[in-house]
Structure 1
Amino acid sequence: MAGGTWTKQDKVRPGVYINFTSESQRGLSIGSRGVVAICEPMSWGPVGKVMEVEAGADTTPFCGYPIYTAQARFLQEIFKGSDRTNGATKVLLYRPAASSSVQATVTEGQMTATALYPGVRGNDITIVVTEQADAEGTFDVQTVVDGAVVDTQTAKNVEELKANGWVTFSGSGALAETAGVKLATGADGTVETAAYTTFLSNIEAYDFDILIYDGDDSTVQAAMVNFVERIANTQGRYSQLVAYGLNVPDSRFVINVCSDITGISFADGTTLTGKQLCWWVGGTEAGANYNESLTYAKYLDAVSVTPALTNDQIIAALQAGKFVVFAENGAVKVDSDINSLTTFTADISKPYQKNRVIRTLHTIANDLYMQFSESFIGVVDNNATGRDLFKAVIVGYLQEMQANNAIQNFEPDDVDVLPGDEIDAVVINLRIQPVDAAEKLYITITVA
């Protein structure tokens, strides 16, 4: 009996002709959020490198300190989240170059130990060399940080010592016992404005939801505003900047933390400045899903705001497109989850000021960009059948968003997939109505 595969029904001999295929997996899925990018001056870590710090990871290799310490507080706040939404899932952390930064070092006998990275954290490193009791001329060399042994090596000569996660060794000759010598002269240096330009060049290759700037350099602020708007308008990659005290940015791509707020106090007695509030705002905005609003969300562990703004001050700040938090009953809450957009047009109307709406729109735009690029462009035919496939996957995607209360009143006819002016062009039109959270409740109580 004949057999094999078939392309068209033109076989001559009787037989069973079988093709093996798979059901098409081409479709769209709703992407996740939670990625923050930040350029943070630090006292430890590689310079000029984008590091990917996952939520829950040990932060010591990245910034030199555990997450519960003051020096790693910025990461703690970025990952914290609110009482009803998650914080960031990943931080793209970049340590900028700093002029006059110095690696800590110490020389003892023939051995020189040098901190792996520049910064004052290197001054917390101690090297202890102990001769083994039962092996004369053989030594245990310990690297100690904050009283904890982080590396132990056994050697007779300096040349045998290998670099570890904290120091490099140099020199030659026999080791000599020492109760402990501390590295010194490490310095952080000064981060110049140009270092942030280099950061933006490095981070452009990465995808992220929120860019945080916690400084007050107006030149850097302007560069970051321009950056998020440029990659959205020219590359179709959508994100938002969170910064403090910007001068009327008037942009849906920018969340302007209110400069009237100068401090946040916490239940454990610690405080953060208004600029440092950007850490939590950025992390929480990134971690919030496309169908979640932060309006009235609580800042975990925060208890008061300095100064306590009056009702009129809060209204004025909101009207100016500022992101405001306030204290109520021993808790700190977001007043309204808005961005800095204040000029509305027929194309960019008032709903674009709400960050939940922006999250929905950015999720749709980023998903269409990424997934069409990966699985559709150059693969799907530009004919009626191919365009029907485009429409089918978009409709299915938007129906899932509607089921998750991100959009409402959606119908399949709200998607048009049309041939473009050229043979390889497709025009897609979507009509959607984003859902926002109920925020203003107008109640009338009638007494009979």
Structure 2
Amino acid sequence: MAGGTWRMQNKVRPGVYINVKGDGKPALATSLGRLLMFQNEPLGWGKKGIIELTATSDFTALTGHKNTDEVLAPVHEALKNAETVLLLNDFDGGAKSTAKSKGVYTINAKYEGEQGNNISVSFVPAPLADGANTRDVTVTTIFGTKEVDQTKITLPLANTKAITAAGLTKEDQLEVHNDYVDITFGTPAEVTKELAAKGEYPLYTAIFNGLTQNAANVSLTGGSNGTNKVVDDMNDYLENEFYAVATTAGWDESSNIHKLLVEEIKLLRENVGIKVRGVVPNSKDKAYNYEGLSGVKNGYILNTGEVVDVPTATARFAGMSASATPDQALTYTQLDDAVEAKPKLNNDKTIEALNAGQIVFTTRAGSRVVIEQDINSLTKFTSTKPKDFSKNRVIRTLDEICTNTTQTFETSFLGKVSNNEFGRDLFKANRVSYLSGLESQNVIRDFDPSDLSLAQGDDKDAVLMNLYVTTVDSMEKLYVNLVVR
């Protein structure tokens, strides 16, 4: 599906082409709260590609680390406000840690990486009852010092009666799978026709003897990290994942990844029609001048005394921005667990940063830290990009209208409704209802159905829509005349 902006009605691909200029519905999915992030160093664990994380995720199973480990510091900050972090864990190569006892078991870590070397597996047989055909063995998986999984397998003695009692067939292969390891016991290929004809099954004999004589604890080894290739593949994920904001939080400001993100965000917004926004660290005062991008100037100190640097603080703002609704501005939003901006900017430097289109954390009375103003990096204004476009609340509103219009047209009208006056009236009625709803939510104001017109475009399959909206901003400045009589 194509999209983006247009100058002439000469598009080839079916799609929605929207120009956003200053002055002149089915149930739809929302990307609200979804933040795309890029892992800046190998995790040494986890699936290749997107790892979806929420505040309640099992971080150890998914990433090989606790959520408070330094390697996940940006993710930890982001999830204080983001609903979901889509973490790109992209790498080449690497090896899984393993352990093997020939004919008894093969243990492979679930993922490649050094974190798999922290895994051990214990096999503890239960007492063997007199005359029993089977024996239970408890299989426990340990990551570091923490037990992460425990299961029980039933081993048969090497005869047909015992195999049946264990609920197995002669061809079954015993296996154990959990979030950390894949264990296979023996292999059915070891059962020869000659021995099977005698009712002897060395597969189960080997496993039984190998696991039930004594308790055993096995450590996995040989795991190695791959090479991080996030930068190489990030554009594919930027274009194909479902998110509201993408950020290069956590990366050193000298990395080229920030420039690449800025370029791709512009491409997605202008040429592809995907209205996502970007957030980058920007203590070095780079002039990006784009309404779809915010740069973070400084960091802060938490109430624990921990200093959150600019690359990590960028994740916090990105998470807040991803979760902010079109009727909400983040100006003066408080960071509940922060006590001081770091570094603190005086009045002149704060004004300088705001004029440069940067996000500034400010210390207020009572050891409070707030976002000074919810702005983006647009600083050069034109008739088609007025000053209003520098406010993130306004951009969220316009992005919401563009995205909803695109989704509605694609799911309910494109290829389904005739391009005649009746069909266009149906689409107009849908949009009027939607926009009236936005007005009732104080997202836009003074909307009148006459502000929306639909006509056939230059081609028979084209529809030209003209829409005028007045966005609503939040109160930010109070000027008072206090007169004493």
Could you state the TM-score of these two structures normalised by the residue count of structure 1? 0.83
| SS in structure 1 of the partner of residue 377 of structure 2 | coil
Once residues 28 and 146 of structure 2 are traced to their aligned partners in structure 1, the CA distance between those partners, rounded to angstroms, is 49
| SS in structure 2 of the partner of residue 281 of structure 1 | helix
Please say if residues 140 and 152 of structure 1, whose CA atoms lie closer than 8 Å, have aligned partners that are also in contact: yes
Matched, 1:421 2:458: yes
- Structure 1 pair 179–27 and aligned structure 2 pair: CA distance change class (3 A): closer
For structure 2, the 5+ residue unaligned runs are 1-24, 157-172, 187-205
Larger deviation, residues 228-237 vs 199-208 = 199-208
Once residues 32 and 161 of structure 1 are traced to their aligned partners in structure 2, the CA distance between those partners, rounded to angstroms, is 39
Select 1:300's aligned residue among 332, 336, 349. 336
Larger deviation, residues 54-63 vs 315-324 = 54-63
| SS in structure 2 of the partner of residue 316 of structure 1 | helix
Q: Which amino acid aligns with 2:127?
A: A
- Structure 1 pair 52–77 and aligned structure 2 pair: CA distance change class (3 A): same
1:105 aligns with 98
Select 1:379's aligned residue among 416, 422, 425. 416
For structure 1, the 5+ residue unaligned runs are 1-25, 82-87
Select 1:223's aligned residue among 240, 243, 260. 260
Alignment of structure 1 residues 165-176 onto 2, 5 Å: 165-169=179-183, 172=186, 173-174=206-207, 175-176=210-211
Select 2:352's aligned residue among 311, 316, 320. 316
* Shift, 1:208, TM fit: 1.4
Alignment of structure 1 residues 6-21 onto 2, 5 Å: none
Larger deviation, residues 169-178 vs 32-41 = 169-178
Please say if residues 176 and 184 of structure 2, whose CA atoms lie closer than 8 Å, have aligned partners that are also in contact: no
* Shift, 1:58, TM fit: 3.7
2:404 aligns with 367
| SS in structure 2 of the partner of residue 198 of structure 1 | helix
* Shift, 1:427, TM fit: 0.6
Deviations 1:73-115 (A, max 9, x none): 444432322xxxxxx233323211056x443334568645332
Please say if residues 35 and 286 of structure 1, whose CA atoms lie closer than 8 Å, have aligned partners that are also in contact: yes
Q: Which amino acid aligns with 2:290?
A: S
Please say if residues 138 and 150 of structure 2, whose CA atoms lie closer than 8 Å, have aligned partners that are also in contact: no
1:144 aligns with 142
| SS in structure 2 of the partner of residue 291 of structure 1 | coil
- Structure 1 pair 96–30 and aligned structure 2 pair: CA distance change class (3 A): closer
Matched, 1:133 2:127: yes
- Structure 1 pair 322–188 and aligned structure 2 pair: CA distance change class (3 A): farther
Please say if residues 47 and 89 of structure 2, whose CA atoms lie closer than 8 Å, have aligned partners that are also in contact: yes
Q: Which amino acid aligns with 2:296?
A: V
| SS in structure 2 of the partner of residue 282 of structure 1 | helix
Select 2:237's aligned residue among 202, 206, 209. 202
Alignment of structure 1 residues 46-445 onto 2, 5 Å: 46-47=47-48, 49-54=49-54, 56-65=56-65, 67=67, 72-81=72-81, 88-97=82-91, 101-107=94-100, 111-134=105-128, 139-145=137-143, 146-154=145-153, 156=155, 160-169=174-183, 172=186, 173-174=206-207, 175-176=210-211, 177-178=214-215, 180-192=217-229, 195-214=230-249, 215-216=251-252, 218-245=255-282, 247-258=286-297, 261=298, 263-328=299-364, 329-445=366-482
1:33 aligns with 32
Once residues 148 and 269 of structure 1 are traced to their aligned partners in structure 2, the CA distance between those partners, rounded to angstroms, is 32
The total of aligned residue pairs comes to 410
Once residues 224 and 317 of structure 2 are traced to their aligned partners in structure 1, the CA distance between those partners, rounded to angstroms, is 30
- Structure 1 pair 183–415 and aligned structure 2 pair: CA distance change class (3 A): same
* Shift, 1:362, TM fit: 0.6
* Shift, 1:296, TM fit: 0.3
The share of aligned pairs that are identical, in percent, is: 29
* Shift, 1:414, TM fit: 1.0
* Shift, 1:416, TM fit: 1.4
Deviations 1:332-360 (A, max 9, x none): 11011011111211101111111101110
- Structure 1 pair 269–118 and aligned structure 2 pair: CA distance change class (3 A): farther
- Structure 1 pair 123–267 and aligned structure 2 pair: CA distance change class (3 A): farther
Across the aligned residues of Structure 1 and Structure 2, the Cα RMSD in angstroms comes to: 2.8
Once residues 396 and 206 of structure 1 are traced to their aligned partners in structure 2, the CA distance between those partners, rounded to angstroms, is 29
Q: Which amino acid aligns with 2:232?
A: T
Could you state the TM-score of these two structures normalised by the residue count of structure 2? 0.77
